[in-house]
Amino acid sequence: MLRASGKHAGEEFDLDAIVDGSRDSGVPHGDLLGEFVEAALGDDSERLKRARSAVSETLGPEALVDAAGAIASFNAVVKVADGSGILVEDFKVELIQQMPERLVQKLGPPRRP
Amino acid sequence: MSIPSVAAHPSVPIRQDLLEAIDRAWRHLSAPGTWWTGAQRLRMVAEARHAAQCPLCRQRKAAVSPYSVPGEHSSLGELPETVVEVIHRISTDAGRLTERWVRACLESGITDAEYVEIVGLVATITALDTFSKAMDVPRRPLPEALPGEPSRRRPKGAKKTIAWVPTMSPQDLRPGDPDPFSRYGAVHIQQALSLVPDSVIGFFDLDVALYLQQDAIRDFATEYRAISHAQLEFIAAKASSINGCYY
Protein backbone atom coordinates (compact mmCIF):
# COMPACT_ATOMS: atom_id res chain seq x y z
CA MET A 1 0.00 0.00 0.00
CA LEU A 2 2.88 2.35 0.76
CA ARG A 3 4.21 1.81 -2.75
CA ALA A 4 0.73 2.40 -4.18
CA SER A 5 0.15 5.66 -2.33
CA GLY A 6 3.61 6.85 -3.34
CA LYS A 7 2.78 6.09 -6.96
CA HIS A 8 -0.43 8.12 -6.62
CA ALA A 9 1.53 11.03 -5.18
CA GLY A 10 4.24 10.72 -7.84
CA GLU A 11 6.85 9.72 -5.28
CA GLU A 12 8.91 6.63 -4.70
CA PHE A 13 9.39 5.69 -1.07
CA ASP A 14 12.36 3.69 0.14
CA LEU A 15 10.80 0.52 1.54
CA ASP A 16 14.15 -0.55 3.01
CA ALA A 17 13.56 2.17 5.61
CA ILE A 18 10.85 -0.04 7.10
CA VAL A 19 13.55 -2.35 8.45
CA ASP A 20 16.46 0.09 8.53
CA GLY A 21 15.86 3.14 10.72
CA SER A 22 19.03 4.82 9.43
CA ARG A 23 17.51 5.26 5.96
CA ASP A 24 15.17 8.05 4.87
CA SER A 25 11.91 6.53 3.68
CA GLY A 26 10.89 9.69 1.89
CA VAL A 27 7.61 9.64 3.82
CA PRO A 28 7.13 13.03 5.51
CA HIS A 29 8.27 12.72 9.13
CA GLY A 30 8.75 8.99 8.60
CA ASP A 31 11.62 9.04 11.09
CA LEU A 32 9.41 10.35 13.90
CA LEU A 33 6.58 8.00 13.06
CA GLY A 34 8.88 4.99 12.76
CA GLU A 35 10.40 5.77 16.13
CA PHE A 36 6.90 6.10 17.61
CA VAL A 37 5.96 2.65 16.27
CA GLU A 38 9.12 1.01 17.63
CA ALA A 39 8.69 2.70 21.01
CA ALA A 40 4.98 1.90 21.30
CA LEU A 41 5.63 -1.78 20.56
CA GLY A 42 8.68 -1.91 22.84
CA ASP A 43 9.25 -1.89 26.59
CA ASP A 44 11.11 1.39 27.13
CA SER A 45 8.62 3.85 28.64
CA GLU A 46 11.02 6.82 28.48
CA ARG A 47 11.66 6.18 24.79
CA LEU A 48 7.90 6.06 24.19
CA LYS A 49 7.40 9.29 26.11
CA ARG A 50 9.99 11.04 23.93
CA ALA A 51 8.59 9.58 20.71
CA ARG A 52 5.02 10.55 21.65
CA SER A 53 6.08 14.11 22.44
CA ALA A 54 8.02 14.40 19.20
CA VAL A 55 5.02 13.34 17.11
CA SER A 56 2.60 15.55 19.02
CA GLU A 57 4.84 18.63 18.93
CA THR A 58 5.80 18.24 15.27
CA LEU A 59 2.60 16.92 13.69
CA GLY A 60 -0.02 17.90 16.27
CA PRO A 61 -2.19 16.08 18.82
CA GLU A 62 -4.73 14.89 16.24
CA ALA A 63 -1.91 13.29 14.25
CA LEU A 64 -0.70 11.59 17.42
CA VAL A 65 -4.14 10.03 17.88
CA ASP A 66 -4.26 8.76 14.31
CA ALA A 67 -0.71 7.43 14.47
CA ALA A 68 -1.50 5.64 17.74
CA GLY A 69 -4.64 4.24 16.15
CA ALA A 70 -2.73 2.82 13.20
CA ILE A 71 -0.16 1.23 15.53
CA ALA A 72 -2.93 -0.33 17.62
CA SER A 73 -4.70 -1.61 14.51
CA PHE A 74 -1.65 -3.30 13.05
CA ASN A 75 -0.51 -4.69 16.37
CA ALA A 76 -3.90 -6.38 16.67
CA VAL A 77 -4.71 -7.47 13.14
CA VAL A 78 -1.64 -9.69 13.23
CA LYS A 79 -3.40 -11.74 15.93
CA VAL A 80 -6.35 -12.23 13.60
CA ALA A 81 -4.13 -13.25 10.67
CA ASP A 82 -1.75 -15.48 12.59
CA GLY A 83 -4.33 -16.93 14.95
CA SER A 84 -6.55 -18.05 12.07
CA GLY A 85 -3.71 -19.03 9.75
CA ILE A 86 -5.26 -17.04 6.95
CA LEU A 87 -3.52 -17.44 3.59
CA VAL A 88 -1.99 -14.48 1.82
CA GLU A 89 -4.01 -13.60 -1.30
CA ASP A 90 -2.54 -14.09 -4.80
CA PHE A 91 -2.42 -10.35 -5.50
CA LYS A 92 -0.41 -9.81 -2.32
CA VAL A 93 2.09 -12.49 -3.31
CA GLU A 94 2.82 -10.52 -6.47
CA LEU A 95 3.37 -7.39 -4.37
CA ILE A 96 5.57 -9.30 -1.92
CA GLN A 97 7.79 -10.34 -4.82
CA GLN A 98 8.45 -6.65 -5.45
CA MET A 99 9.35 -5.91 -1.83
CA PRO A 100 12.97 -5.33 -0.74
CA GLU A 101 14.78 -8.57 0.00
CA ARG A 102 15.67 -7.51 3.55
CA LEU A 103 12.01 -6.92 4.37
CA VAL A 104 10.92 -10.28 2.94
CA GLN A 105 13.70 -12.00 4.89
CA LYS A 106 12.48 -10.38 8.11
CA LEU A 107 8.89 -11.41 7.48
CA GLY A 108 9.66 -14.92 6.28
CA PRO A 109 7.73 -16.77 3.59
CA PRO A 110 4.07 -15.78 3.22
CA ARG A 111 1.46 -18.39 4.22
CA ARG A 112 0.34 -20.13 1.04
CA PRO A 113 -1.63 -23.32 0.27
CA MET B 1 -23.04 -1.31 34.45
CA SER B 2 -20.48 1.47 34.50
CA ILE B 3 -17.60 1.40 32.05
CA PRO B 4 -14.98 4.11 32.58
CA SER B 5 -14.44 6.00 29.36
CA VAL B 6 -11.34 7.33 27.64
CA ALA B 7 -13.36 10.54 27.47
CA ALA B 8 -12.72 10.84 31.20
CA HIS B 9 -9.28 12.13 30.18
CA PRO B 10 -10.23 15.39 28.43
CA SER B 11 -6.61 16.39 27.77
CA VAL B 12 -6.44 13.71 25.10
CA PRO B 13 -8.02 15.01 21.87
CA ILE B 14 -9.39 11.71 20.68
CA ARG B 15 -11.88 11.71 17.80
CA GLN B 16 -15.49 11.24 18.92
CA ASP B 17 -16.03 8.34 16.49
CA LEU B 18 -12.98 6.59 17.96
CA LEU B 19 -14.14 7.19 21.54
CA GLU B 20 -17.49 5.68 20.66
CA ALA B 21 -15.85 2.70 18.94
CA ILE B 22 -13.70 2.09 22.03
CA ASP B 23 -16.79 2.11 24.25
CA ARG B 24 -18.57 -0.30 21.87
CA ALA B 25 -15.52 -2.57 21.89
CA TRP B 26 -15.65 -2.78 25.68
CA ARG B 27 -19.35 -3.58 25.59
CA HIS B 28 -18.58 -6.26 22.98
CA LEU B 29 -15.93 -7.82 25.22
CA SER B 30 -18.19 -7.88 28.27
CA ALA B 31 -21.33 -9.16 26.51
CA PRO B 32 -22.19 -12.81 25.87
CA GLY B 33 -20.63 -13.93 22.62
CA THR B 34 -21.49 -16.78 20.30
CA TRP B 35 -19.81 -19.53 22.32
CA TRP B 36 -18.70 -17.92 25.61
CA THR B 37 -20.56 -15.95 28.28
CA GLY B 38 -19.70 -12.37 29.12
CA ALA B 39 -18.00 -13.50 32.34
CA GLN B 40 -15.91 -16.09 30.49
CA ARG B 41 -14.95 -13.56 27.84
CA LEU B 42 -13.76 -11.07 30.45
CA ARG B 43 -11.74 -13.78 32.19
CA MET B 44 -10.05 -14.37 28.82
CA VAL B 45 -9.38 -10.65 28.41
CA ALA B 46 -7.81 -10.57 31.88
CA GLU B 47 -5.70 -13.61 30.98
CA ALA B 48 -4.54 -11.94 27.76
CA ARG B 49 -3.37 -8.96 29.78
CA HIS B 50 -1.65 -11.28 32.23
CA ALA B 51 0.22 -13.17 29.49
CA ALA B 52 2.87 -10.44 29.24
CA GLN B 53 4.08 -11.42 32.72
CA CYS B 54 4.24 -15.17 32.01
CA PRO B 55 7.83 -16.53 32.40
CA LEU B 56 7.08 -19.52 30.14
CA CYS B 57 5.91 -17.19 27.37
CA ARG B 58 9.08 -15.13 27.76
CA GLN B 59 11.25 -18.25 27.54
CA ARG B 60 9.37 -19.48 24.48
CA LYS B 61 9.57 -16.09 22.80
CA ALA B 62 13.34 -16.11 23.25
CA ALA B 63 13.75 -19.70 22.03
CA VAL B 64 14.57 -20.66 18.44
CA SER B 65 11.39 -22.73 18.50
CA PRO B 66 8.61 -22.09 21.02
CA TYR B 67 7.66 -25.76 20.69
CA SER B 68 10.95 -26.86 22.25
CA VAL B 69 10.20 -25.23 25.60
CA PRO B 70 7.86 -27.25 27.84
CA GLY B 71 6.34 -25.92 31.03
CA GLU B 72 3.29 -24.41 32.61
CA HIS B 73 1.98 -20.94 32.03
CA SER B 74 1.69 -18.47 34.86
CA SER B 75 -2.05 -17.90 34.70
CA LEU B 76 -4.77 -16.23 36.73
CA GLY B 77 -6.11 -19.72 37.40
CA GLU B 78 -9.64 -19.11 36.18
CA LEU B 79 -9.60 -20.84 32.79
CA PRO B 80 -8.89 -24.34 31.46
CA GLU B 81 -5.27 -25.07 30.56
CA THR B 82 -5.95 -25.25 26.81
CA VAL B 83 -7.70 -21.90 26.83
CA VAL B 84 -4.77 -20.37 28.72
CA GLU B 85 -2.32 -21.83 26.17
CA VAL B 86 -4.34 -20.36 23.29
CA ILE B 87 -4.60 -16.94 24.89
CA HIS B 88 -0.94 -16.74 25.90
CA ARG B 89 0.46 -17.91 22.55
CA ILE B 90 -1.74 -15.57 20.52
CA SER B 91 -0.97 -12.70 22.88
CA THR B 92 2.80 -13.12 23.01
CA ASP B 93 4.03 -15.04 19.95
CA ALA B 94 1.31 -15.18 17.29
CA GLY B 95 3.81 -15.02 14.43
CA ARG B 96 5.08 -18.54 15.13
CA LEU B 97 1.77 -20.36 15.48
CA THR B 98 1.34 -23.39 13.26
CA GLU B 99 -1.64 -25.33 11.97
CA ARG B 100 -0.36 -28.34 13.91
CA TRP B 101 -0.49 -26.33 17.14
CA VAL B 102 -4.05 -25.19 16.38
CA ARG B 103 -5.09 -28.80 15.70
CA ALA B 104 -3.56 -29.88 19.02
CA CYS B 105 -5.53 -27.18 20.84
CA LEU B 106 -8.74 -28.30 19.13
CA GLU B 107 -8.06 -31.89 20.20
CA SER B 108 -7.63 -30.72 23.80
CA GLY B 109 -11.14 -29.66 24.59
CA ILE B 110 -12.21 -26.55 22.68
CA THR B 111 -14.06 -26.37 19.38
CA ASP B 112 -12.88 -24.51 16.30
CA ALA B 113 -15.56 -21.87 16.81
CA GLU B 114 -14.68 -21.40 20.49
CA TYR B 115 -11.05 -21.02 19.38
CA VAL B 116 -11.95 -18.39 16.77
CA GLU B 117 -13.91 -16.39 19.34
CA ILE B 118 -10.86 -16.38 21.62
CA VAL B 119 -8.68 -15.09 18.75
CA GLY B 120 -11.12 -12.21 18.29
CA LEU B 121 -11.08 -11.36 21.99
CA VAL B 122 -7.29 -11.34 22.18
CA ALA B 123 -7.05 -9.19 19.04
CA THR B 124 -9.58 -6.70 20.40
CA ILE B 125 -7.95 -6.26 23.81
CA THR B 126 -4.57 -5.99 22.07
CA ALA B 127 -5.89 -3.11 19.97
CA LEU B 128 -7.44 -1.35 22.97
CA ASP B 129 -4.41 -1.69 25.22
CA THR B 130 -1.90 -0.81 22.48
CA PHE B 131 -3.82 2.37 21.77
CA SER B 132 -3.91 3.27 25.47
CA LYS B 133 -0.18 2.64 25.80
CA ALA B 134 0.70 4.65 22.70
CA MET B 135 -1.46 7.55 23.87
CA ASP B 136 -0.41 7.37 27.54
CA VAL B 137 -4.03 6.88 28.54
CA PRO B 138 -4.57 4.63 31.59
CA ARG B 139 -5.49 1.09 30.63
CA ARG B 140 -9.18 0.63 31.32
CA PRO B 141 -10.12 -1.70 34.18
CA LEU B 142 -12.35 -4.60 33.25
CA PRO B 143 -16.06 -3.83 33.39
CA GLU B 144 -18.71 -6.09 34.87
CA ALA B 145 -19.88 -8.87 32.61
CA LEU B 146 -23.23 -8.44 30.93
CA PRO B 147 -25.71 -11.21 31.68
CA GLY B 148 -27.05 -13.65 29.13
CA GLU B 149 -26.24 -16.82 27.30
CA PRO B 150 -24.10 -17.26 24.18
CA SER B 151 -26.10 -17.55 20.96
CA ARG B 152 -24.33 -20.80 19.96
CA ARG B 153 -25.13 -20.22 16.29
CA ARG B 154 -22.65 -21.71 13.82
CA PRO B 155 -22.94 -20.48 10.24
CA LYS B 156 -23.80 -23.47 8.07
CA GLY B 157 -21.87 -22.22 5.04
CA ALA B 158 -18.48 -22.11 6.78
CA LYS B 159 -15.80 -24.34 5.26
CA LYS B 160 -12.06 -24.82 5.57
CA THR B 161 -10.48 -23.28 2.47
CA ILE B 162 -8.27 -20.26 3.13
CA ALA B 163 -7.28 -20.69 6.79
CA TRP B 164 -6.55 -23.25 9.50
CA VAL B 165 -10.15 -22.86 10.65
CA PRO B 166 -13.39 -22.83 8.65
CA THR B 167 -14.31 -19.44 7.20
CA MET B 168 -17.05 -17.87 5.09
CA SER B 169 -16.96 -15.66 2.05
CA PRO B 170 -19.93 -13.43 1.18
CA GLN B 171 -21.20 -16.21 -1.12
CA ASP B 172 -21.39 -18.60 1.84
CA LEU B 173 -23.79 -16.45 3.87
CA ARG B 174 -27.18 -18.07 4.45
CA PRO B 175 -30.43 -16.33 5.43
CA GLY B 176 -30.21 -15.27 9.05
CA ASP B 177 -26.41 -15.19 9.18
CA PRO B 178 -24.96 -11.90 10.44
CA ASP B 179 -23.23 -10.21 7.46
CA PRO B 180 -19.91 -8.65 8.49
CA PHE B 181 -18.67 -8.29 4.91
CA SER B 182 -20.96 -5.62 3.48
CA ARG B 183 -19.76 -3.16 6.10
CA TYR B 184 -16.12 -4.09 6.67
CA GLY B 185 -15.02 -5.71 3.40
CA ALA B 186 -14.41 -9.32 2.42
CA VAL B 187 -10.71 -9.82 1.74
CA HIS B 188 -9.07 -12.67 3.60
CA ILE B 189 -8.42 -10.73 6.79
CA GLN B 190 -12.13 -9.97 7.18
CA GLN B 191 -12.98 -13.61 6.43
CA ALA B 192 -10.45 -14.92 8.97
CA LEU B 193 -12.81 -14.98 11.99
CA SER B 194 -16.03 -15.46 10.02
CA LEU B 195 -16.79 -18.81 11.64
CA VAL B 196 -17.95 -16.47 14.40
CA PRO B 197 -19.43 -13.50 12.51
CA ASP B 198 -19.94 -11.53 15.73
CA SER B 199 -16.18 -11.65 16.29
CA VAL B 200 -15.54 -10.13 12.85
CA ILE B 201 -18.03 -7.37 13.59
CA GLY B 202 -16.68 -6.75 17.09
CA PHE B 203 -13.07 -6.52 15.99
CA PHE B 204 -13.48 -4.54 12.78
CA ASP B 205 -15.95 -2.07 14.29
CA LEU B 206 -13.01 -0.92 16.42
CA ASP B 207 -10.33 -1.48 13.78
CA VAL B 208 -11.86 0.80 11.14
CA ALA B 209 -12.06 3.61 13.72
CA LEU B 210 -8.43 3.09 14.70
CA TYR B 211 -7.20 2.88 11.11
CA LEU B 212 -9.46 3.31 8.07
CA GLN B 213 -12.63 1.93 6.53
CA GLN B 214 -11.81 -0.63 3.83
CA ASP B 215 -12.94 1.62 0.95
CA ALA B 216 -10.87 4.53 2.32
CA ILE B 217 -7.64 2.53 2.31
CA ARG B 218 -7.23 2.79 -1.47
CA ASP B 219 -8.90 6.17 -1.84
CA PHE B 220 -5.62 8.03 -2.19
CA ALA B 221 -7.36 11.16 -3.46
CA THR B 222 -8.92 11.82 -0.06
CA GLU B 223 -7.21 12.10 3.30
CA TYR B 224 -9.40 10.83 6.15
CA ARG B 225 -7.01 11.36 9.05
CA ALA B 226 -4.68 14.02 10.40
CA ILE B 227 -1.78 12.13 8.83
CA SER B 228 -1.59 11.16 5.16
CA HIS B 229 -2.18 7.79 3.54
CA ALA B 230 1.58 7.44 3.08
CA GLN B 231 2.23 8.17 6.75
CA LEU B 232 -0.46 5.72 7.89
CA GLU B 233 0.92 3.05 5.57
CA PHE B 234 4.45 3.62 6.76
CA ILE B 235 3.26 3.07 10.33
CA ALA B 236 1.36 -0.03 9.22
CA ALA B 237 4.36 -1.44 7.39
CA LYS B 238 6.67 -0.77 10.31
CA ALA B 239 4.30 -2.38 12.85
CA SER B 240 3.74 -5.39 10.59
CA SER B 241 7.47 -5.75 10.10
CA ILE B 242 8.08 -5.77 13.86
CA ASN B 243 5.33 -8.37 14.24
CA GLY B 244 6.62 -10.45 11.31
CA CYS B 245 3.31 -10.34 9.49
CA TYR B 246 2.30 -9.52 5.90
CA TYR B 247 -0.97 -8.00 7.12
3-class state of residue B159 by DSSP: strand
**Quick check: B174 contacting A, CB < 8 Å?**
no
| pLDDT value of position B10 | 52
Contact B99, A83 (CB under 8 A): no
pLDDT at A113: 61
Under the banding of pLDDT at 50, 70 and 90, the label for residue A23 is confident
Q: Please give the model's pTM, rounded to 2 decimal places.
A: 0.92
The pLDDT assigned to B8 comes to 47
Per domain, the residue ranges of chain A are 2-107
Q: What is the pLDDT of residue B2?
A: 43
A-chain CB neighbours of B241 within 8 Å are 18-19, 103, 106-107
- How many other CB atoms are found less than 10 A from the CB of residue B71? 11
Give tens-digit pLDDT for A13-22.
777 777 777 8
Contact assignment for A71 to B13 by CB distance below 8 Å:
no
pLDDT at residue B221, as a whole number: 87
What's the gap in Å between the CA of B91 and the closest CA on chain A? Answer: 7
Instruction: Find the largest Cα–Cα distance for chain B.
Output: 52
pLDDT beneath 70: ranges in chain B = 1-12, 246-247
Q: Which of B19, B27, B21 is nearest to B1 (CA)?
A: B27
